[in-house]
Chains A and B, each alone.
Chain A
Amino acid sequence: MNILAAHKVTKRFGGLVAVDALDFTIPQGSIVSLIGPNGAGKTTFFNCITGFYRPEDGSLFFNDVSLTALRPDQITAMGIARTYQNIRLFANMTVMENVLVGQHTRLKTGMLGAILRSPRARQEEAEALEKAQEMLRFVGLAGRGDWMAKNLPYGDQRRLEIARALASKPTRLRDALGLTILLIEHHMRVVMGISDRVTVLDYGVQIAEGTPAEIQGNPRVIEAYLGRGAASGLGQKTAVVAAAA
C-alpha cells in the first residue's frame, strides 16, 4: 500500500515548469530517494508535499487523504515531518524547547489552560517533557537539554533536527521506528546504499525510476546526471521526509 501518492503534479513559476506532471508513489515502510541535478525540481516537489507550495495541477494523497488544499501545519499534524538541507533549528531556544515545539501538534493546551496552568495543562506539559527527554536520549543528546540550539556542534544540530521531526509523531518512540522515508541526498553512496527505490528527476520530469542497481545502469541517468561528474557526490546536502507509519 502506498502511504504517499502523487498523480500528475505540476508546479509552475511563471513560464518555468519546475515540476512537470510528476507521478510518484512511496510504499508504506520503504525508503525512497529523489535525486537529480541541481534545479531538477526535487525541493519544489518536496515543498508541494509539505504544503508550502500549492501545485497548479495534479493530486497528492497521504494515506488516501488529499493534501492539495491543506496548510503546512495541517499536513504536519497528519504525520509528515521534514528536516532541511541546511539545518534550520530554532537557534535561540534551548535544545529541549526545540523538541517541545516539535510536539506542538500533539499537544492541546490553549491560551486559557496556559494562563491558568490548569491540572490538564500541567499534566500534558509533564508528559511532553518526558517524551522530549526520550527523544533526546534516542538521538544521543541526553543531558544537553539546557543548551542553546545554536551552541551545539554541527553533527548534534542535525541530531536535534531529527529529534524535532520525530517528536511530531503521534505514537511513542518505541512504536515509531516503522518510518517511511523520502530522502533527497546528493551523496550517491548513501542513496544507493539505503534506498529501496530511487526516482531521478531532470527539468521537472521523471527520467528514471527503479532499484538502486537499475538506476546506476540507466543510460539516461548517466547522461543527465552521473555523466556530469557528480557521481562522487556534491557534499553533504541532505533532506528527509519521514512519514508516520
Chain B
Amino acid sequence: MNVRLASREGLLTGFINLCCILLGLTGLAGTMVGGWFHLSSRQPGAWLLLLGIAVWGGVRAVRRVPDPSRNKTLIAGLVAGVMHGLTLAVSLWLISTLLDAGAEVRKWLVQLTPEAIRLLTFGLSPVAAAALMFVVMTTAGLVGALWVRASERYPWQRTLSKGPTTVRTRFLALPAVQNFMQRKHSQQILWGGGLLILLFFPFVLGQYWNYTLGTVGIYVILGLGLNIVVGFAGLLDLGYVAFFAIGAYIVAILTAPAPHGIMMNFWLVVPIGIVLAALAGVLLGIPVLRMRGDYLAIVTLGFGEIIRILSKSDALTDFTGGPRGIRSVGGPGLFGFDVSSEFYFMYIIILGIVLAAYVTLHLQQSRVGRAWMAMREDEDVAQAVGIYTLQYKLLAFATGAALAGFSGVIFASRNKFTGPEDFTLLVSINVLCLVIIGGMGSIPGVVAGALVLKGLPEILRQLADYRMLAFGALLILMMIVRPEGLWPSTRRQMELHERAEQSGEPDAGSSPETGP
C-alpha cells in the first residue's frame, strides 16, 4: 500500500514539475537566481527549482508511511523518485524528439523554446537527456527521504504555522513588556507612539511608495468596513464594491467640472459621500437582508454588478460620464493651498485608517458589536435573546457601506478620475480576500491582509508575467499553513488568559534586568 501512495506522490510532484517546465517557470527561476548571484548561466536556477520539487515529492512520500523504519523510508523515497523521474524523463524525451523533428510545439506552449529545453538537456540527445533526468530525479527523491529522517527531531512545520502567535505571546510575556502594560497610560503611550511613527512615514517614502502604500491604505479602510459586515455580523457581501463606487462617483460628480460643473469643496463632499453610501447600504439592505448565507452572497454580487453597469449605461451617460468616466475630479485644499499630491493624500488616508480602526474597535467591544457577533453565531437565538436582527443587520451594512463610501471618495479624488472599470467584481473579491487572509473579525488582521494582498504584488513585480501565478500560489500556501489568518482575532480577555499561563516561566527564570 505504501508503494502505491509513494508512487502517487511521485507522479503528482512530477506532474507539478512538468507544468513548471511547460509554463516556463524553470526558465524564470533560472533568470532570477542568475540575476541574484550574477551568474552567466540560467541552468543553476532552473535545476534548483526542479530538484526542489523532486525533493519535496520524496518528503511527501515518506510522510505517507505510517511508522517509518529506515528501509521503509528509503523505499518510499526511491519509489517517489522513480515515478517522478519517469514522468519527467518520458516527457523530456517526447518534447526534445518532437523539437528535433521540427514540430511546432510553440504554437500551443509559448514558453517551450529550444533554448528552454537546452537548459534541461545540456544539448544531449533525447535518450541521453531523459536518462540523465531519470537518474537525477530518482536521487532527489531519495534525498527527500533522507532529509525527513534527518529533520524528524525538529518539527519545523509546526514552528512555521505557530511561529507568529508564539512570538507574540513570548513578547507579551517579557518582564519589560509586562511592566509597561501595567502602567497607567500604557495604552495611550502606545497609540501616541504609533501615530507619531505614522506621521513621519510619508516623509521617508518616495512618491512611488506613497502612492502604492496609499492604495494599500485605501484597501485597509475598505477591509475594516467589510470586516464589520462579514467578520462581525457574518453577512457575506460580495457586492461591497458598489458602495466604494458610490463614494467615488459622488465626489466625482460634485467636484469635477465636466458633466455638471458643481465644483464643490472636497471637504464638504466627504461627509456627503459617507452619508449617501450608508443610505445606499440601508436601501439595499432592506430587501436583501431577509436572505441568509449563500442567497445573500448572490444577491449582493448582483447588486455590485448593477451599480457598475448602471454607471456606464447609455441612459446615465449625461449623469455619470458613461464608459469614459469622469475626469479632473477635485482634490482637497487647505487654507488656499492645494494638498492633493500623493504625499498629502497619505496623511488623509492615515487619518482615515485611524478613524476607521477607532470606530471598529469601539463598536466591537460594545453592546452593538456583541449583538452582531451573536447574529453571526446563531441568528435565531440572537433574535430570541431580544436582538432585532433586521435593525442590526442594517446597522452593520450601513457602517460598512459608510467606510466604503469614504474610501471611494479618497480613491477617486486621489486618482483625479473615476470610471466604471475601477469597480469590477474583482475589487469586492480582493477586499473579501484580505479580510479572510488577515483573520476574520480582527482589526490588525485587516492591515496585515491589505499589506499582503495589495503590497505583495508590488514586491513580486520582479516575476513579471508570473506575478499573479506566484501570488495565487502564495495565497493557497497561506490558507494551508495558517487557515485562521495572519493575525487572527483573540479577544483581550483571551490574551490575558494566555499571558497569565505563560508568565510563570520568565519569572521563575532569570530576570535581573527588570530593575530601575
Q: A and B: real partners?
A: yes
A88 interfacial contact with B, CB 8 Å:
yes
The 10 closest A-B pairs by CB, nearest first: A114-B366, A105-B386, A76-B386, A90-B377, A146-B493, A72-B383, A73-B388, A101-B374, A109-B367, A73-B386
Chain B's closest residue to A102 (CB) is B385
Residues in A whose Cβ lies below 8 Å from that of B382: 90, 101
Chain A's closest residue to B388 (CB) is A73
Among B368, B385, B493, find the residue whose CB has the most chain A CB atoms closer than 10 A.
B385
Q: Are B384 and A72 in contact (CB under 8 A)?
A: yes
Q: Are A114 and B368 in contact (CB under 8 A)?
A: yes
Distance (Å) between the CB of A115 and the closest chain B CB?
A: 5
Decide: A164 near B385, CB < 8 A? Known: A109-B366, A110-B368.
yes
Q: Are B381 and A76 in contact (CB under 8 A)?
A: no
- Interface-facing stretch out of A24-32, A77-85, A206-214: A77-85
A96 interfacial contact with B, CB 8 Å:
yes
Q: Are B370 and A101 in contact (CB under 8 A)?
A: yes
Docked CA distance A102–B368 (Å): 13
Docked CA distance A82–B384 (Å): 7
A16 interfacial contact with B, CB 8 Å:
no
Residues in A whose Cβ lies below 8 Å from that of B378: 88, 90-91
Docked CA distance A68–B272 (Å): 41
A189 interfacial contact with B, CB 8 Å:
no
Chain A's closest residue to B358 (CB) is A115
A71 interfacial contact with B, CB 8 Å:
yes
Q: Are A94 and B359 in contact (CB under 8 A)?
A: no
A97 interfacial contact with B, CB 8 Å:
yes
Distance (Å) between the CB of A72 and the closest chain B CB?
A: 4
Decide: A90 near B384, CB < 8 A? Known: A111-B363, A146-B494.
no
B373 interfacial contact with A, CB 8 Å:
yes
Residues in A whose Cβ lies below 8 Å from that of B124: none
B184 interfacial contact with A, CB 8 Å:
no
The one of B384, B386, B389, B493 in contact with A96, judged by C-beta atoms closer than 8 angstroms, is B493
Residues in A whose Cβ lies below 8 Å from that of B389: 73
Q: Are A97 and B373 in contact (CB under 8 A)?
A: yes
Residues in A whose Cβ lies below 8 Å from that of B381: 84, 88-90
Q: Are A52 and B380 in contact (CB under 8 A)?
A: yes
Docked CA distance A72–B385 (Å): 8
Chain B's closest residue to A113 (CB) is B366
A125 interfacial contact with B, CB 8 Å:
yes
B497 interfacial contact with A, CB 8 Å:
yes
Distance (Å) between the CB of A192 and the closest chain B CB?
A: 28
Chain B's closest residue to A104 (CB) is B386
B369 interfacial contact with A, CB 8 Å:
yes
A117 interfacial contact with B, CB 8 Å:
yes
CB-contacts of B361-400 with A (<8 A)? 362-363, 366-371, 373-374, 377-378, 380-389, 395, 399
B168 interfacial contact with A, CB 8 Å:
no
The 29 listed contacts between A and B (C-beta, < 8 Å) are A52-B380, A52-B383, A52-B384, A74-B388, A76-B385, A82-B384, A84-B381, A89-B381, A90-B381, A93-B373, A93-B374, A97-B370, A101-B370, A101-B382, A102-B385, A104-B370, A104-B374, A104-B386, A107-B367, A109-B366, A109-B367, A109-B368, A114-B363, A115-B363, A121-B366, A125-B366, A146-B497, A148-B494, A164-B385
Residues in B whose Cβ lies below 8 Å from that of A146: 493-494, 496-497
A100 interfacial contact with B, CB 8 Å:
yes
Q: Are A100 and B491 in contact (CB under 8 A)?
A: no
CB-contacts of A50-90 with B (<8 A)? 50, 52, 71-74, 76-77, 81-82, 84, 88-90
Docked CA distance A145–B497 (Å): 11
Give A113-126 as 1s and 0s: 1 = Cβ < 8 Å from B's Cβ atoms: 11111000100010
Q: Are A114 and B386 in contact (CB under 8 A)?
A: no
Distance (Å) between the CB of B358 and the closest chain A CB?
A: 8
Docked CA distance A122–B389 (Å): 24
Chain B's closest residue to A97 (CB) is B370
A92 interfacial contact with B, CB 8 Å:
yes
Given contacts A93-B373, A105-B386, 4 further A-B contacts (CB under 8 A): A81-B384, A90-B381, A91-B378, A97-B373
Residues in A whose Cβ lies below 8 Å from that of B493: 94, 96, 145-146
A180 interfacial contact with B, CB 8 Å:
no
Chain A's closest residue to B391 (CB) is A73
Docked CA distance A5–B491 (Å): 44
Docked CA distance A75–B484 (Å): 38
Residues in A whose Cβ lies below 8 Å from that of B386: 73, 76-77, 104-105, 168
Residues in B whose Cβ lies below 8 Å from that of A96: 493
Decide: A114 near B369, CB < 8 A? Known: A88-B378, A146-B493, A146-B497.
yes
Among B381, B382, B389, find the residue whose CB has the most chain A CB atoms closer than 10 A.
B381
Residues in B whose Cβ lies below 8 Å from that of A145: 493
Docked CA distance A84–B378 (Å): 13
Give A124-158 as 1s and 0s: 1 = Cβ < 8 Å from B's Cβ atoms: 01001000000000000000011010000000000
Distance (Å) between the CB of B435 and the closest chain A CB?
A: 16
Decide: A115 near B373, CB < 8 A? Known: A73-B388, A104-B386, A146-B494.
no
